[in-house]
Amino acid sequence: MTAGDGTTAPGGLPGRSARLRLADGTPGPEGVAFPPFVDHHVHLQMVDPDAAPRAGIAGVVDLGAELTAISALAAREPLPRVVHAGQFLTAPGGYPGDRWWLRQGSLRELPAPIGAHERRALPDPIETAVAEQAAFGATLVKVMLNAVAGPVFDRETLDAIIAAARAHGLLVAAHAEGEGMARLAIEAGADALVHAPFTERLDDGLVARAAAAGQCWISTFDIHVRAGEASALAIAVDNTARFRAVGGRVLYGTDLGNGELPDGVNTGELSGLLAAGLPPAELIGSLTDPWPLAEAAEWGGDALATFVPGLPPGDADELPAWLAAARVVPIENLEFG
Ligand SMILES: [Zn+2]
């Protein structure tokens, strides 16, 4: 049994009505239990990793870290559960090589693929780098396509990285920033964009192509709010609204570790998702989506739930504040009605 089974909770939300049992066995608050909430974009090396579960987030997807550090964080028990992309893969001289916040060892510069005639004599740096991410337990790789801040991979190099990732059973997530970069990532077949595209309005055909390919877009709206970048926010919300309308898969993700963001369920992020047209059930779905894993059970959903005390509000605009009270709890501490 998981919190995602059975009847839906009040308000049509994909959860179950439940009562929390307190540590001394006495009945606690009534509320709603959901499958484990996941923040699909964090940098765990830059935050307090213990804060997330206290604030309702049971799992995190780390999208850029030093390999030894992130594999050690992923091996810790028990929470948050960590899935990671290993290092930032970028072109020589590319973003984020010059950033003050970059942790030593978290950047991997990759040259263009070597020619077939050289391949027998030399190890391929792309193949070597992807194999190393896999060896440290990565589930996906992260490619940096930031044309605003430096050189980026050309299509041939990107194709070679994606092919190497596929050969290791890894997904590919792209940071697309600057003119044409979202198009490059979509046409090359990246599995996810780590920020809902915020540089330019994507045409409907490109948006439909991304949705049809099953690409995921990770929201990260609140970083634009906090940076005071209203136009980037408006572009990201508009692109996401049209992506969602044609069946695109939208994931909750905050880029926690990027500037001053609150721990746990981020009300600003949720408000952005509502602004992009996600109805309440889809808003919850963006938090409980198991990507890049296959199902909630892999995030501990057989044993854990994210529990929100109280009844869900009737007004969708009040959902973010209600969800901000979420806590991760063992399912055995819940009584289902
Ligand atoms: Zn990030």
Average pLDDT over residues 266-271: 96
Average pLDDT over residues 114-140: 84
Determine, yes or no, domain membership for 333. no
Determine, yes or no, domain membership for 25. no
Displacement of CA 223 from its chain's centroid (Å): 14
191 alpha carbon to ligand 1 midpoint, in Å?
A: 16
220 alpha carbon to ligand 1 midpoint, in Å?
A: 9
- Would you state the pLDDT for residue 52? 76
User: For the segment 184-215, what is each residue's pLDDT rounded down to a tens digit?
Assistant: 999 999 999 999 999 999 999 999 999 999 99
Determine, yes or no, domain membership for 254. yes
- Would you state the pLDDT for residue 260? 81
Write down the mean pLDDT value for the chain: 93
Determine, yes or no, domain membership for 325. no
Determine, yes or no, domain membership for 294. yes
- Would you state the pLDDT for residue 1? 47
pTM here?
Answer: 0.95
| Residue-number span of the structural domain to which 225 is assigned | 36-303
Share of the chain above pLDDT 90, in %: 84
Determine, yes or no, domain membership for 337. no
Q: Is the pLDDT of residue 259 over 90?
A: no
The set of residues, in sequence order, having a beta carbon less than 8 Å from that of 85 and lying 6+ positions away, is 61, 62, 63, 64, 65, 133, 138, 139, 140, 141, 142, 173
Average pLDDT over residues 110-123: 70
Determine, yes or no, domain membership for 74. yes
43 alpha carbon to ligand 1 midpoint, in Å?
A: 6
Which CATH number do you get for residue 257? 3.20.20.140
65 alpha carbon to ligand 1 midpoint, in Å?
A: 10
User: For the segment 214-244, what is each residue's pLDDT rounded down to a tens digit?
Assistant: 999 999 999 999 999 999 999 999 999 999 9
- Would you state the pLDDT for residue 77? 79
- Would you state the pLDDT for residue 117? 58
- Tally of domains in the chain: 1
Strands 107-109 and 88-90: parallel
142 alpha carbon to ligand 1 midpoint, in Å?
A: 10
37 alpha carbon to ligand 1 midpoint, in Å?
A: 18
Determine, yes or no, domain membership for 9. no
41 alpha carbon to ligand 1 midpoint, in Å?
A: 6
Residue type, 267: T
Sole residue written with tokens 């963001």: 261
